[in-house]
Amino acid sequence: MKVTSIAGSTALLSVMFLFAAGNAYAANVAVPAEKCDAAWSMASPGGDTIAKGTATPLVLDFTMVDSNKDGVIDKDEFNKACSAGLVKADEATVNDMK
């Protein structure tokens, strides 16, 4: 009886983990090209470059976005990455971008 409850608990935890992982993955969508300027405003409210240590959640892979490898992301790099689908946000955030 004890083995069954442990097995059942393990199966339940596995299902919960897979569900949570699937939802986390599905939550991030590429920011559409027409919303890249709005995404830049969110990522860099003052319009300054974005340093590696301060990259926002919108930039998932800093090294891919920093195309000239100078250690910062400028608006041009950000917009190119955004148009290529490298800038991502949850669906609600994307829908709120103006």
Residue (of 62, 97, 68) closest to 76 by Cα position: 68
Q: pLDDT 10s digit of each residue in the chain, 98 long? A: 555 455 444 443 343 333 444 444 445 899 999 999 999 999 999 999 999 988 788 998 999 999 999 999 999 999 999 999 999 999 999 998 88
Same-domain check for residues 46 and 90? yes
Sign of CA dihedral 78, 80, 82, 85: negative
- How many domains in the chain? 2
Report the pLDDT value the prediction gives residue 75, as an integer from 0 to 100.
Answer: 96
HEC string of 14-55 equals HHHHHHHHHHHHHHEEECCHHHHHHHHHHHCCCCCCEEHHHC
Same-domain check for residues 50 and 3? no
- Domain around 39: 31-96
Same-domain check for residues 36 and 66? yes
Please indicate, yes or no, whether the overall pTM of this predicted structure exceeds 0.75. Answer: no
